[in-house]
Structure 1
Amino acid sequence: MKQLVQNLKNGQTVLEEVPAPQVRRGQVLIRTRRSLVSLGTERMLVEFGRASLVAKARQQPDKVKQVLDKIRTDGLIPTLEAVFRKLDQPLPLGYCNVGEVLAVGEGITDLAIGDRVASNGPHAEWVSVPRNLVVRIPDAVSDDEAAFTVIGAIGLQGIRLLNPTLGETVVVVGLGLIGLLTAELLRLNGCRVIGLDIDEQKLTLARQKGIITLNPADGTDPVTAVLSLTGGIGADGVIITASTKTDELISQAARMSRKRGRIVLVGVIGLNLSRAEFYEKELTFQVSCSYGPGRYDEVYEQQGHDYPLPFVRWTENRNFQTILQLLSTGQLDVTPLISEVVPLDQYQTIYGQISRSRSIASLLSYPEQGPVQSAVTLREVRYESTQGVVGVIGAGNFAGATLLPALQAGGAQLKTIASAGGLNGTLLARKHTIAVSTTDYREILTDPDIDLVVITTRHNLHARLTIEALRAGKHVFVEKPLCLFTDELPPIINAWQESGKTVLVGFNRRFSPHAQKMKALLGGDRSGDVPMNIVATMNAGAIPASSWVHDRAVGGGRILGEACHYVDLITFLTGSRVVAVCLNAMGRQPSETTDSASLLLRYENGATGVINYFANGSKAYAKERVEVYSQERTLVLDNFRTLKGYGFKNFTTLSTRQDKGHTEQFRRLVGQIRQGGEPLIPFAELVNTTQATLAALDSLREGRWVAVNLNTVYQPDPSPVGDA
């Protein structure tokens, strides 16, 4: 299928050929008929992409500060590589989609194949959208009209926050598409509406809908005019739908408002507020969030849990329904707003001149398509089995930024990448010369050429996909963690034992040249005979509480999902396995997960470890630090860039570019798959690390030390693991 994307690095708008998405639980697969181009939002993306690197930096000064902090901690080259990787990730365009339901995912009972629906799907021939972002279209509403559903809800949500009453005067600043829809909806609400814009075409459309118009470009002072129109009282409310960098609009809104007036921002403007202007009138100001309650809430949007109507009357989905109801009764008329309808393959008609466009609403039309194709072949390559041919499941940020480059540098032959939506996988396939992009990961499992399956999905899928890959006769590399719950471990162990294949979890840090040097200095394979204390600190940085990472059932929390790196590293350095853990977290109440805690580890050989995992530190400070104390000697590793030794003969310092061991990990793994040999990490250690982090969460909940049983779950087999 075809999908429109925007390249933020060079500003190009491209129609990509990508595999159609798979319908998943709680989602709806839709064949697109129409989509509306949000000229304001999409113009900003296009212009940002076309801007120079310096201009991009000026537009995002907060990001510049983050870059400078990262340079100080990680070094110049790794930081620049990260910046260019980020800019090289094209964004899907569009969020106003109309089409026909092709399939419904598990758990959906109120939509059927063949239903016409509107959604916030992108400009693509097929889209897969969560149920709460999909709404059925009434028969009386055409596809063209229904394309205004989502963008109309944006204006409607701004009105709901303003809470106007019958007869009030409301000013709408900016009469673009959202502004015109907002003004018309306010009229339907019984308000007297004043519209401000400098484009006479838009003002003419507004007047045709009974809106009083003001044009500052002809010398009219908006504040004076509004005060005059309201008898010196001022507007009851102001909704700003314009997009500009200046602070003048918020100042004008304050000065034209009555005492205790309300101001709502829907657009994007400068926000240096004057305290005096707001203080004297006791004005209220609120920023509207997109379509309404539920937006950006993982539980509502992705998991499909609706808010109870008696308590949250207007969710984003119910706002969608309201717009469609108004369209079906003819109360809301969007037909005059349609400037053009353009076939998808002629998209440059719109985007080629988007910076100069005077269109109000541009629609893309889609051809009748054939069967849904789950894979796209980008190049033809013949592979020899048992040569380290790789299939990758997952195409997120980590895969693109770290995993795929490391796989290639490690000598892997990449054949297929599977991603849920298809776009990310296809873009990464093209960048890394991967032959096939698919949305059906089973194509990887059934491909006889593929020896190694690399799993880099959300954490809740790791256990199931590992088991499926092993049962398909594949070697497995799975990003940490191995699993999220204790009852997932035995099936993994059984599948591994039955398959005779290698399993490696992505504990890359032990493969860093710094970790390897530390191991050698501490006695190499005999390090288990040397008593030691190790302190590892991760200045992890905060992740929003709403992130899936914190969800116990999806991400597992950051101790399980990230601190496990250091359990493995300490296990590697001490040459022993964990026998007991105690997790102490910041805060007073027991919790399922935490991201600011100290994990105490007791090892079988008497060694101890402390992992300080903190999310409340400064980003300007180095992210990772490891200290080893043993036999009156000390090693200090700073951010995997510098290793310093104290008390060691013939060693003081090792300095490199930041190297966390990703490339070396894959170089060794590909070599093992091609040539056979011992596993890179003994399976017993993988299980022990997983048990230790699971036990840490038990410790957090129960407030005590928790033992890690080394014998009941897994007894190591003395025979070699894996085959060629």
Structure 2
Amino acid sequence: MKQLVQNLKNGQTILEEVPAPQVRRGQVLIRTRRSLVSLGTERMLVEFGRASLIAKARRQPDKVKQVLDKIRTDGLIPTLEAVFRKLEQPLPLGYCNMGEVLAVGEGITDLAIGDRVASNGPHAEVVSVPRSLVVRVPDGVSDDEAAFTVIGAIGLQGIRLLNPTLGETVVVVGLGLIGLLTADLLRLNGCRVIGLDIDEQKLALARQKGILTLNPAVGTDPVTAVTALTNAIGADGVIITASADTDDLISQAARMSRKRGRIVLVGVVGLNLSRAEFYEKELTFQVSCSYGPGRYDEVYEQQGHDYPLPFVRWTENRNFQTILYLLSTGQLDVKPFISEVVPLAEYQTIYGQISRSRAIASLLRYPVEEPVQSAVTLRETRYEGAKGVVGIIGAGNFAGATLLPALQAAGAHLKTIASAGGLTGTLLARKHNIAVSTTDYREILTDPDIDLVVITTRHNLHARLTVDALRAGKHVFVEKPLCLFANELPPIIEAQQASGKTVLVGFNRRFSPHVQRMKALLGGDRAGEVPMNIVATMNAGAIPAGSWVHDRAVGGGRLLGEACHYIDLITYLTGSRVVAVCLNAMGQQPSETTDSASLLLRYENGATGVVNYFANGSKAYAKERLEVYAQERTLVLDNFRTLRGYGFANFSRLRTGQDKGHTEQFRRLVAQIRRGGEPLIPLADLINTTQATLAALDSLREGRWVEVRVSRVEPAGTPVAGTPVAGNPVSHEQG
């Protein structure tokens, strides 16, 4: 990949070819689409690099003192060698990055591959950034606008330290890009803003935003002018965003302030303060640190420990989010500040004349690599014939009320149950004649007698436990969903293909006697030859907002956790796989965890499906309903109790007690494990359903149809060399 670096010894700005970084735990790997050149900071670095050694020494007197101390202790030659080695180290440029997620490290659950994100990554085609410094970009914000996120947060943090109130007068000294952004944010905050600069182009931009401007270069005395504009009171606050070697700006800020005024320094100026100027007015002075609380704190940035919101309301990441929110609502408009958008390869257009540049904001545009949309090739696996001994991980309500009774009814040999606390597992073991209760699920994985691992934990553990069980050489039954995030799917496929063991997701509804009858009436294995329309409606009912199910990182939300049932059911009945999805949810700004939505499904054979998942209906109405329309015939399944047929010569109705297929699912599974044979649900169906569900959330976020790739399947026993994984290539670290 290519990265922009600055050579501090000879002053050259170089587009260097370097290896792409690897994603590590807690980090996000990003392919850059735009980055913003911070002309003030980067001009200073470029000019420093081009300066002579004497000029460099004059600019950093504190470093000169360190060099002199080192000469006294280590000698002249070793010290000079150390200085030159330091200057020869290239310095990465840039800190305003926008791109899309390529991969996420272990421990990150709230970002997915393909997400558009902003970060403080450098000017490089690929960057790896700690999660705390990455924020998802809303759909309505363009790539160009999103590149302003970090630099906007610098101005915002200065404002937060100033703590202005509605109607106060605030002077912004220096109307470079940070100054213009700061002035505009202050205006949004309800302040009267006065901008101070000597560049008429910048002053004109500020006036377009409704900001009063002063230009000392035309003879205006800023202190006198501010005093007059405030009825001799003085400014309530001053934010200095300029850079200057002298102490004049800090003195000027003090003199234009009212008594007990506040001054915040965002830029770089001389700090020889006049005690009299500050003493007489009891002025407050504070230096702003970059993007906000958390900056340069290794525990926050590198280790990912967030500051609790009730105690630290605005961290650097939450400042990023604020800027993006203002951009998404149109309250903050940065488009007038964009002077040029330059391809990365033509970087010298910016850097070659950076000392003379009058640009406000220069953007670098990166080449876009379209992901390869090839299908995935999978090798199907079989049950080879075994004892059928079962180990269960998870002892929650579903396990006790539904899963264990169904396993017992199917004649399964239940040997071990693992639960986090031990008590619920022990009680269930006693009730269902399970020999062993443990708190360490690894006892199940290392037990050679156990052939099948049943996973019925909270959703966020499904992917990891599935991978662990496959690597231990066990067949896996995992309750839906298979995983919560796109980056969790490739490791499952890799582990399954490498182990040769099977994975079955708990899509029990296809095993209901009603659905089996529907399949037969529609043509059995030949059902896919006839396109059909299917509508599945779930009157799910509301659950408390604080439930773990609504947590995107733990439960995934009800659409992800439950709507997958109906995608699988429609896939089974149509005999085809999903190729595109479109999700529409209730509300003005629906989230990924919304629980009232309609999902449209387009199938490879031309069939269509609709999944209506509603939490706002009456509990007096039936919970589930399935309608199939094909060849001028209709099937209606009501709550898995009554199936009615219309237009069928020899069928009109099937009525049973409610049967959603749990017992039949496990009866077939146990029998298949013991005697051997094909998996109950093809692996490609399981992957397609998972991909379609995740794509539905992408559709909701992006407001469009999203395509889903359909996997190719090789028969069992066929070698598949270098098996690719679903989705874009992804690095997944194991803890």
Calculate the TM-score normalised by the size of structure 2. Answer: 0.50
**Alignment partner of 1:78: what SS?**
helix
Q: Distance in 2 between matches of 1:195 and 1:24?
A: 44
Correspondence 1:238-257 to 2 at 5 A? 238-257=238-257
Q: Deviations over 1:678-724 (max 9, x none)?
A: xxxxxxxxxxxxxxxxxxxxxxxxxxxxxxxxxxxxxxxxxxxxxxx
Q: Which has the larger radius of gyration?
A: 2
Q: Distance in 2 between matches of 1:152 and 1:370?
A: 29
Q: What is residue 168 of structure 1 aligned with on the other side? A: 168
Q: Distance in 1 between matches of 2:115 and 2:250?
A: 43
**Alignment partner of 1:293: what SS?**
coil
Q: What is residue 146 of structure 1 aligned with on the other side? A: 146
Q: Distance in 1 between matches of 2:71 and 2:149?
A: 44
Q: What is residue 100 of structure 1 aligned with on the other side? A: 100
Q: What is residue 277 of structure 2 aligned with on the other side? A: 277
Q: What is residue 323 of structure 1 aligned with on the other side? A: 323
Q: Distance in 1 between matches of 2:57 and 2:370?
A: 44
Amino acid at match of 2:134: V
Q: What is residue 20 of structure 1 aligned with on the other side? A: 20
Q: What is residue 705 of structure 1 aligned with on the other side? A: none
**Alignment partner of 2:237: what SS?**
strand
CA shift, 1:73, in A, is 0.7
Q: What is residue 258 of structure 1 aligned with on the other side? A: 258
Amino acid at match of 1:177: L
Q: Distance in 1 between matches of 2:152 and 2:8?
A: 27
Q: What is residue 7 of structure 2 aligned with on the other side? A: 7
CA shift, 1:90, in A, is 1.0
Q: Distance in 2 between matches of 1:308 and 1:270?
A: 35
Q: What is residue 192 of structure 2 aligned with on the other side? A: 192
Amino acid at match of 1:326: L
Q: What is residue 62 of structure 1 aligned with on the other side? A: 62
Correspondence 1:637-656 to 2 at 5 A? none
**Alignment partner of 1:124: what SS?**
coil
Q: Deviations over 1:308-337 (max 9, x none)?
A: 000000000000000000000000000000
Q: What is residue 527 of structure 1 aligned with on the other side? A: none
Sequence identity, in percent? 92
Correspondence 1:442-591 to 2 at 5 A? none
**Alignment partner of 1:341: what SS?**
strand
Amino acid at match of 1:48: F
The answer on 1:305 being equivalent to 2:342 is no
Q: Distance in 2 between matches of 1:182 and 1:65?
A: 36
Q: Distance in 2 between matches of 1:148 and 1:69?
A: 42
- For structure 2, list consecutive stretches of 5 or more residues without a partner in the other structure: 373-735
Q: What is residue 606 of structure 1 aligned with on the other side? A: none
Amino acid at match of 2:30: I
Q: Distance in 2 between matches of 1:179 and 1:155?
A: 7
Change in 2 beyond 3 A, CA 1:77/1:371: farther
Q: Distance in 1 between matches of 2:338 and 2:284?
A: 34
Amino acid at match of 1:260: R
Amino acid at match of 1:249: L
Correspondence 1:354-369 to 2 at 5 A? 354-369=354-369
Q: Deviations over 1:660-695 (max 9, x none)?
A: xxxxxxxxxxxxxxxxxxxxxxxxxxxxxxxxxxxx
Q: What is residue 684 of structure 1 aligned with on the other side? A: none
Q: What is residue 351 of structure 2 aligned with on the other side? A: 351
Amino acid at match of 1:329: T
The answer on 1:208 being equivalent to 2:238 is no
Q: What is residue 237 of structure 2 aligned with on the other side? A: 237
Q: Distance in 1 between matches of 2:237 and 2:163?
A: 9
Amino acid at match of 1:215: N
**Alignment partner of 1:250: what SS?**
helix
Q: Deviations over 1:45-88 (max 9, x none)?
A: 00000000000000111111111111111111100000001111
**Alignment partner of 1:279: what SS?**
helix
State the Cα RMSD in Å. 1.0
**Alignment partner of 1:152: what SS?**
helix
CA shift, 1:264, in A, is 0.1
Q: Deviations over 1:142-185 (max 9, x none)?
A: 00000000000000000000000000000000000000000000
The answer on 1:287 being equivalent to 2:287 is yes
Q: What is residue 49 of structure 2 aligned with on the other side? A: 49
Q: Distance in 2 between matches of 1:233 and 1:368?
A: 54
Q: What is residue 180 of structure 2 aligned with on the other side? A: 180
Q: Distance in 2 between matches of 1:250 and 1:200?
A: 22
Q: What is residue 31 of structure 1 aligned with on the other side? A: 31
> 4+ residue stretches of structure 1 with deviation over 3 A?
369-372
Amino acid at match of 1:292: G
Q: Distance in 2 between matches of 1:11 and 1:280?
A: 46
Amino acid at match of 1:197: D
Q: Distance in 1 between matches of 2:225 and 2:359?
A: 28
CA shift, 1:368, in A, is 1.9
Q: Distance in 1 between matches of 2:335 and 2:69?
A: 50
Amino acid at match of 1:173: V
**Alignment partner of 1:369: what SS?**
coil
Q: Distance in 2 between matches of 1:244 and 1:88?
A: 27
Q: Distance in 2 between matches of 1:60 and 1:176?
A: 24
Q: Deviations over 1:285-315 (max 9, x none)?
A: 0000000000000000000110000000000
Change in 2 beyond 3 A, CA 1:370/1:67: farther
Q: Distance in 1 between matches of 2:212 and 2:255?
A: 19
Q: Distance in 1 between matches of 2:333 and 2:65?
A: 46
Q: What is residue 228 of structure 2 aligned with on the other side? A: 228
**Alignment partner of 1:4: what SS?**
strand
**Alignment partner of 1:175: what SS?**
coil
**Alignment partner of 2:35: what SS?**
strand
Q: Distance in 1 between matches of 2:48 and 2:227?
A: 37
**Alignment partner of 1:161: what SS?**
helix
**Alignment partner of 1:328: what SS?**
helix
Q: What is residue 117 of structure 1 aligned with on the other side? A: 117
Q: Distance in 2 between matches of 1:171 and 1:312?
A: 27
Q: Distance in 2 between matches of 1:307 and 1:110?
A: 17
Change in 2 beyond 3 A, CA 1:73/1:371: farther
Q: Distance in 1 between matches of 2:49 and 2:72?
A: 27
CA shift, 1:370, in A, is 7.6
Q: Distance in 2 between matches of 1:336 and 1:350?
A: 18
Amino acid at match of 1:131: R
Amino acid at match of 2:131: R
CA shift, 1:26, in A, is 0.1
Q: Distance in 2 between matches of 1:62 and 1:2?
A: 34
Change in 2 beyond 3 A, CA 1:328/1:370: closer
Q: What is residue 84 of structure 1 aligned with on the other side? A: 84
Q: Distance in 1 between matches of 2:99 and 2:122?
A: 11
The answer on 1:340 being equivalent to 2:340 is yes
**Alignment partner of 1:36: what SS?**
strand
**Alignment partner of 2:369: what SS?**
coil
Change in 2 beyond 3 A, CA 1:370/1:69: farther
Amino acid at match of 1:152: G
Amino acid at match of 1:269: V
Q: Distance in 2 between matches of 1:153 and 1:66?
A: 33
**Alignment partner of 1:286: what SS?**
strand
Change in 2 beyond 3 A, CA 1:370/1:83: farther
CA shift, 1:369, in A, is 3.5
CA shift, 1:371, in A, is 8.5
Q: Deviations over 1:537-590 (max 9, x none)?
A: xxxxxxxxxxxxxxxxxxxxxxxxxxxxxxxxxxxxxxxxxxxxxxxxxxxxxx
Change in 2 beyond 3 A, CA 1:371/1:2: farther
**Alignment partner of 1:55: what SS?**
helix
Q: Distance in 1 between matches of 2:326 and 2:187?
A: 13
Q: Distance in 2 between matches of 1:189 and 1:360?
A: 23
Calculate the TM-score normalised by the size of structure 1. Answer: 0.51
CA shift, 1:225, in A, is 0.2
Matched length: 372
Amino acid at match of 1:280: E
